[in-house]
Structure 1
Amino acid sequence: MAINKFRINEIIVLLYRLSLAFVFYFIARLLFYFYNADLLNVDSAGQFLLLSFYALAFDSAAILYMSLLFIFLSIIPVFVNTKPKYQTLLFFVYFIPNLIAYATNFIDLIYYRFVLSRTSIAVFDSLEHEENKLKLLMNFSIKYWLVFVLFVLCTSLWIFLYLKVKVKQVEKVESRKQYLYSSIIIFIITFFAVIVGIRGGVTKKNRPINTVDANRYTKRPEHGDIVLNTPFSVLRTFGKTSYKEVKYMDPAKVDSYVSSVKHYDVNKPISPNIVLFIIESFSREYIGSFNEGTTIPNFKSYTPFVDSLAQHSLIFPNAFANGYKSIHGVSSIIAGIPSFKDAFTSSPYPNQKIESLVSALNSKGYDTSFFHGAVNGSMGFLGFGNILGYDHYYGMSEYDNDDDFDGTWGIWDEPFFQFMKETLNKKKGPFFATMFSVSSHEPFALPEGYEGKFPEGNQLIHMTIGYTDYALKRFFEESSKEPWFKNTIFIITADHTSQIDYAMYREVANRTAVPILFYTPDERLKGVDMSLAQQIDIYPTILDLIGYDKPFRSWGRSLLNDTVATPFTINYGSNEYTYQEGNYIVRFNGREVTGFYDIKDKGLRVNLINRKTKEMEEIEMRCKAFLQDYFDRIINRRLDK
């Protein structure tokens, strides 16, 4: 039976309207590349077009998801499809969900530089505990007004082109039976076409495509973020958790590769005070003392105080964060629990007994405090701190002076650091104080009267790094006058990295490079250690330093005395794990190893996977064993042993 001619016209218009979405997704991808070209490393226009071709499967899935109701209403076997009022209904059913999804692509024009991966549903973890969501959105729209304008322009053009082609209105259907049969055939064909499109094509027989598949055809990990679109990334992670048990090997074999329980007996038990600074976005590349061995042309440091302190400290210039967000950093540093695809603190599993730096120090009679100058509860730190067992939480409420509010996040670093100093003065000790700073963060503002005091640099964050460095200087100057200062171990690190200025730090494996610094006033910890280090090593190192005399759960190692654990780092980005150890870097997507690279090849340019050696095989097994033990302990609630 021939398809009714009126239905043919409707189908042609339907295909035209859907094709517009593909065109504008391509435009969004062009803009995404334009804004982030220095991080995406595309060699030619041809390569970009090839990546855009691979992206069609991911665009199809996102567009069809958002257009399901529109497609259904466009082909449903009724006789009113072509009437003006019905077409107006279709207009809104088409654009409301599609434009909401499309807008997320524009968020990643900017946000990608901060998290170095396409936005997923996990980004809302960062906002869950924020009370000023609307203000943050307004600040983003004002500061990055051009992105908002580009979205409005694309939206306007999309609507204009949509309205240019209209369905011919049908006044009378000659054969209702032919119309109905045609509609049924069209409905069946469309149904199967949509299923195929959402699943990612006819070749995906076992499962729908997911974000990991974006790297299937790419030679560079970061190219997967070009292939992906943000709506797809959000949709595919909605309502899902990456916390699932994996089994790469027999559980008995895991222990031969992973040392997840530590016990150090080198140092005699002591009870010094401990002050840990987790500095917001304090990337290694901003700090001169951590770049003395590099060959970066015209390198400029923005941290004169930390550079001077480093001359009297033990520093680790080859250290890396285990995640890309603040909520990742806290669990990694304090509890030695890294976060990968999703934040551990936002998973179903943080509400369990967790052995951590806090619980260990509490057991030794320490007074434990968490300082964060933001609104109490921001970032979920208060809740997670309670799970870990901090005795005290000091936030904006305890500071109790809104005159020092920065207008966005919290109290400026300089006065809040002094508030911590005054609070510590009242404690008898020994105490453990964690300070999470706020000022070196978007929107990168300075307190009134500090404009022009710090070098502007080439990135917006550089001035605020200078300000926080100054706040650290003022803290140390004032604290050095207090009796508790001489009996204190100070640690400085970062929660994650931020804006990148130098090419060396744009290389994939260097994008999580952070500082780790240990300082004691008697300078018993001093020097430069170039071995691999990571955030999860801080917890066991502190316990080693104080001579903690019990076994404790830790995937990290003491950076001072560990003779058992092999130095390594692990984090997650561009849909894959990056594992560094020995002479190699491994990229692993959770199912299979996608690449081996020389440890010096931080840009992951030359894949050595076809030249696998015994050392590579061992490193692969340790990477898999780590992940198997990691998910097993978290899911089966064995984080207390």
Structure 2
Amino acid sequence: MKEIRLQELFVLFYRIFLAFFFYQIARFLFWFFNKDLIRIDSVADYINISYHGFAFDTTAILYVNSLFILLSLIPIVINTKKYYQKFLFYLYFITNGIAYGMNFGDFIYYKFSQARLTTAALNVAKNENNIGKIFIVSILEHPFVIFWFAVLIMLWIFLYKKEKVKEFKPEKKWIYFGSSVVSLCIIATLVVGGIRGDFKHSTRPINLVDANRHVKNPLQANVVLNSVFSFFRTIDTNNFKEVHFVDQKFVDQNIKPYKLYVRENAAPKPNIVIFILESFAKEYSGAFNKNTDIENFVSYTPFFDSLATQSLIATNAFANGRQSIHGMSSVLAGIPSLKDAFTSSPYSNQKIQSIVSVSNEMGYDTSFFHGAPNGSMGFLGFGNILGFKNYYGKTEYNNDADFDGMWGIWDEPFFQYFAHTLNRKKSPFMATLFSVSSHHPFKVPEKYQGKFRKGPLEIHEPIGYTDFALKKFFETAKKMQWYNNTIFVMVADHTNQVGYPEYEKAMSRFAIPILFYSPNPKYNLKGEITSPAQQMDIYPTLADLMGYNKKIRSWGKSLVSNKQEESIIVNSSGVEQFIIGNYIYLFDGKDFTGIYNFKDLGYENNLLGKVNTPEITLGKLKSKAWYQDYMDRVINRKLN
């Protein structure tokens, strides 16, 4: 009986099936174009991963197609009319086309973020006015994305049209309406269960962390996921929740959220100059790879390498986040980015003790420099929260002849502007510069074409240019009176393109250089720190060197103190990662999803449930204690 609408139901299921089919193709293409970053050892492993991806695809597809499903089934008699089916066709391909395009965007985006697309990308984009230009440049640099997207959409349309709804007029309308209501109720239940990922009322809806349950290596979870799921699941999310795993005494004894470093406060106070270098990963520098035993290693930072021989360098250091604004909060305020970033949370607008507030308290002039349009990356807003007295951006530079056309003022002229502006300040001053030129799209000024080494990665040449800009800055600065009593810090905000297998490993994706240099020998900033360090250590190290001599709120430690302090290295790859002692602990906020030997940076051998030593037991408690203290201080506004 046509009134039961069986043919319409069949065609509807066929159309939804097509979405599953094309999502699996997108999954394969995502992995194929990122296989150098996500290792899958066998066809069987890939099949297992793609099988578990169905649950996440189901949620995404039903999110996108809920209205289409409803309008396909509501009993309005005209459902089979050609004009109505044409309307459904456009609705289907507009919504699915946009969603499908998000997956293809991740072919490119993942190489830079090394995480699936989430709403965190919107928090970055909202501070930029060049997103359209970036999109066009990215497409031009990666035409295969448009090619495969166009081919697959055309194939999808072709297959969609293979099964059509035949027009009919229901005669027994009570059967038509009754069967439609029953169908709607059944399918609505299936849709709700599919979006949740389970039909059990007691089970929470599946989330990004659930992808880790089905893989051998946490990086493979990005193949289990799809971009639509990760984006929708992070809309209006707030994973900041108070927890109570241990008592406060354990936190105070083992996490030690307050540090005190006392040294003779000799005059004059040192000037502090911090360079946060865009994408300046450890992988690109020879001085930081002497002990990595990488065959035929090539350095792209000759000046940085030479400066490192006269500096105190941390050769086993890690970023505490993946985006530029996370680097700013980690370096200046010692606040890392977890699964949800503090800087885009409801709690970011609070009083925060930082190297900026410490400098202000000690009578320093404090300034932030960034050659991009003022407000880009959210730096101006967060800088105001931290308490910078001055902000110098593209507006203050006031010469668009040096604009790179995309992100900001080229590094070389802006670094010179930095030096000359500091020369007009009264000491002591604390100044931070965030560079721009080693940012995608990777290019150098036309006049320097062919000057810098081009390696296998696009980023190598602009890294060489920023290194050259640093060299020119120091040539200028060393002629200035303030130079000899200045402590310089150089650190990357995060990593970027990967060329060597050593840096394809999960934790190595966070490997960055940290360098402290001063021409003043009294600070004794020479040598190598080979034990694990992190961006969060910079703030307490500088407070120590400046002679602050008061308690500071810090999850990092001073790298120049004689105190025996344990490091707890923190960052997130979708789950929180802690390096404590000899082990790496992966924690999702409730349970541990992995424990690995520190030498196992690629997460090849999960020890969870296999090895349980006293060190691991204590490490798990410390991980939970750190997480508990972080949530308490962020939520209850105890960061001052």
**Matches of 1:106 and 1:247 in 2, distance apart?**
41
**Matches of 1:553 and 1:114 in 2, distance apart?**
32
**Matches of 1:337 and 1:554 in 2, distance apart?**
8
**Matches of 2:338 and 2:292 in 1, distance apart?**
28
Aligned-pair CA distance for 1:267: 4.5
Q: What code does the residue aligned with 1:539 have?
A: Y
Q: What code does the residue aligned with 2:256 have?
A: S
Q: What code does the residue aligned with 2:314 have?
A: F
The answer on whether the counterparts of 1:585 and 1:599 sit within 8 Å (CA) in structure 2 is yes
Q: What code does the residue aligned with 2:61 have?
A: I
Q: Which residue of 2 aligns with 1:186?
A: 183
**Matches of 2:179 and 2:389 in 1, distance apart?**
71
Structure 2: gaps (5+ residues)? none
| Residue of 54, 57, 71 corresponding to 1:56 | 54
Q: Which residue of 2 aligns with 1:601?
A: 600
Q: Which residue of 2 aligns with 1:225?
A: 222
Aligned-pair CA distance for 1:233: 0.3
Q: Which residue of 2 aligns with 1:588?
A: 587
Aligned-pair CA distance for 1:201: 3.1
Residue by residue, what CA displacement relative to the aligned partner does 1:554-591 show, whole Å, maximum 9, x if unpaired?
Answer: 11100111625311211000x21111121111111111
**Matches of 1:257 and 1:208 in 2, distance apart?**
34
**Is 617-626 or 365-374 further displaced after alignment?**
617-626
Q: What code does the residue aligned with 1:292 have?
A: K
Q: Which residue of 2 aligns with 1:81?
A: 79
- Note if 1:544 corresponds to 2:544: yes
Q: What code does the residue aligned with 2:457 have?
A: Q
Q: Which residue of 2 aligns with 1:417?
A: 415
Q: What code does the residue aligned with 1:633 have?
A: R
**Is 559-568 or 19-28 further displaced after alignment?**
559-568
Aligned-pair CA distance for 1:269: 4.5
| Alignment CA distance shift 1:412-1:239 (3 Å) | same
- Note if 1:195 corresponds to 2:192: yes
**Matches of 1:366 and 1:11 in 2, distance apart?**
71
Residue by residue, what CA displacement relative to the aligned partner does 1:321-369 show, whole Å, maximum 9, x if unpaired?
Answer: 0000001000000011111123222111121111110010111111111
The answer on whether the counterparts of 1:455 and 1:462 sit within 8 Å (CA) in structure 2 is yes
The answer on whether the counterparts of 2:339 and 2:576 sit within 8 Å (CA) in structure 1 is no
| Alignment CA distance shift 1:495-1:67 (3 Å) | same
**Matches of 1:248 and 1:121 in 2, distance apart?**
29
**Is 464-473 or 550-559 further displaced after alignment?**
550-559
The answer on whether the counterparts of 1:267 and 1:546 sit within 8 Å (CA) in structure 2 is no
Residue by residue, what CA displacement relative to the aligned partner does 1:73-132 show, whole Å, maximum 9, x if unpaired?
Answer: 111122111100110111122122221111111111011111111110111111111122
Q: Which residue of 2 aligns with 1:245?
A: 242
Q: CA RMSD in A?
A: 1.3
The answer on whether the counterparts of 1:4 and 1:178 sit within 8 Å (CA) in structure 2 is no
1:316 alignment partner, SS class: strand
The answer on whether the counterparts of 2:4 and 2:180 sit within 8 Å (CA) in structure 1 is no
Q: Which residue of 2 aligns with 1:631?
A: 631
Structure 1: gaps (5+ residues)? none
**Matches of 1:382 and 1:191 in 2, distance apart?**
46
The answer on whether the counterparts of 2:4 and 2:179 sit within 8 Å (CA) in structure 1 is no
The answer on whether the counterparts of 1:320 and 1:534 sit within 8 Å (CA) in structure 2 is yes
Residue by residue, what CA displacement relative to the aligned partner does 1:113-155 show, whole Å, maximum 9, x if unpaired?
Answer: 1111111011111111112222222222222222122212222
**Matches of 1:57 and 1:206 in 2, distance apart?**
14
**Matches of 1:227 and 1:459 in 2, distance apart?**
27
Q: Which residue of 2 aligns with 1:235?
A: 232
1:289 alignment partner, SS class: coil
Q: What code does the residue aligned with 1:232 have?
A: F
The answer on whether the counterparts of 2:3 and 2:172 sit within 8 Å (CA) in structure 1 is no
- Note if 1:531 corresponds to 2:536: no
**Matches of 2:249 and 2:155 in 1, distance apart?**
60
**Matches of 1:421 and 1:118 in 2, distance apart?**
39
**Matches of 1:267 and 1:214 in 2, distance apart?**
52
2:572 alignment partner, SS class: strand
| Residue of 339, 342, 357 corresponding to 2:340 | 342
Aligned-pair CA distance for 1:253: 3.0
Aligned-pair CA distance for 1:175: 2.0
| Residue of 297, 300, 304 corresponding to 1:299 | 297
The answer on whether the counterparts of 2:79 and 2:85 sit within 8 Å (CA) in structure 1 is yes
Q: Percent identity?
A: 52
The answer on whether the counterparts of 1:369 and 1:392 sit within 8 Å (CA) in structure 2 is yes
- Note if 1:393 corresponds to 2:394: no
| Residue of 367, 372, 396 corresponding to 1:369 | 367
Aligned-pair CA distance for 1:189: 1.2
Q: Which residue of 1 aligns with 2:262?
A: 265
Q: What code does the residue aligned with 1:304 have?
A: P
**Matches of 1:608 and 1:35 in 2, distance apart?**
30
The answer on whether the counterparts of 1:61 and 1:199 sit within 8 Å (CA) in structure 2 is yes
2:431 alignment partner, SS class: strand
**Matches of 2:477 and 2:192 in 1, distance apart?**
64
**Matches of 2:74 and 2:245 in 1, distance apart?**
48
The answer on whether the counterparts of 1:267 and 1:544 sit within 8 Å (CA) in structure 2 is no
**Matches of 2:157 and 2:294 in 1, distance apart?**
48
**Is 4-13 or 624-633 further displaced after alignment?**
4-13
Residue by residue, what CA displacement relative to the aligned partner does 1:250-272 show, whole Å, maximum 9, x if unpaired?
Answer: 34432232111111014435511
1:222 alignment partner, SS class: helix
Residue by residue, what CA displacement relative to the aligned partner does 1:491-516 show, whole Å, maximum 9, x if unpaired?
Answer: 10000000000000101111100000
Q: Which residue of 1 aligns with 2:506?
A: 508
**Matches of 1:501 and 1:301 in 2, distance apart?**
12
1:239 alignment partner, SS class: coil
| Alignment CA distance shift 1:562-1:190 (3 Å) | farther
Q: Which residue of 1 aligns with 2:95?
A: 97
**Matches of 1:294 and 1:352 in 2, distance apart?**
41
Q: Which residue of 2 aligns with 1:474?
A: 472
Aligned-pair CA distance for 1:30: 0.8
Give me the TM-score of the superposition, normalised by structure 2: 0.97
The answer on whether the counterparts of 1:280 and 1:436 sit within 8 Å (CA) in structure 2 is yes
**Matches of 1:634 and 1:6 in 2, distance apart?**
56
**Matches of 1:184 and 1:449 in 2, distance apart?**
70
Q: Which residue of 1 aligns with 2:575?
A: 576
**Is 174-183 or 429-438 further displaced after alignment?**
174-183
Q: Which residue of 1 aligns with 2:355?
A: 357
| Residue of 120, 123, 126 corresponding to 2:124 | 126
The answer on whether the counterparts of 1:259 and 1:565 sit within 8 Å (CA) in structure 2 is no
- Note if 1:214 corresponds to 2:211: yes
The answer on whether the counterparts of 2:3 and 2:175 sit within 8 Å (CA) in structure 1 is no
Q: What code does the residue aligned with 2:407 have?
A: W
The answer on whether the counterparts of 1:4 and 1:182 sit within 8 Å (CA) in structure 2 is no
Aligned-pair CA distance for 1:203: 5.7
The answer on whether the counterparts of 1:82 and 1:168 sit within 8 Å (CA) in structure 2 is yes
**Matches of 1:266 and 1:621 in 2, distance apart?**
33
**Matches of 2:231 and 2:201 in 1, distance apart?**
20
**Is 459-468 or 150-159 further displaced after alignment?**
150-159
1:579 alignment partner, SS class: strand
Aligned-pair CA distance for 1:174: 3.4
Q: Which residue of 1 aligns with 2:172?
A: 175
1:315 alignment partner, SS class: strand
**Matches of 2:364 and 2:271 in 1, distance apart?**
8
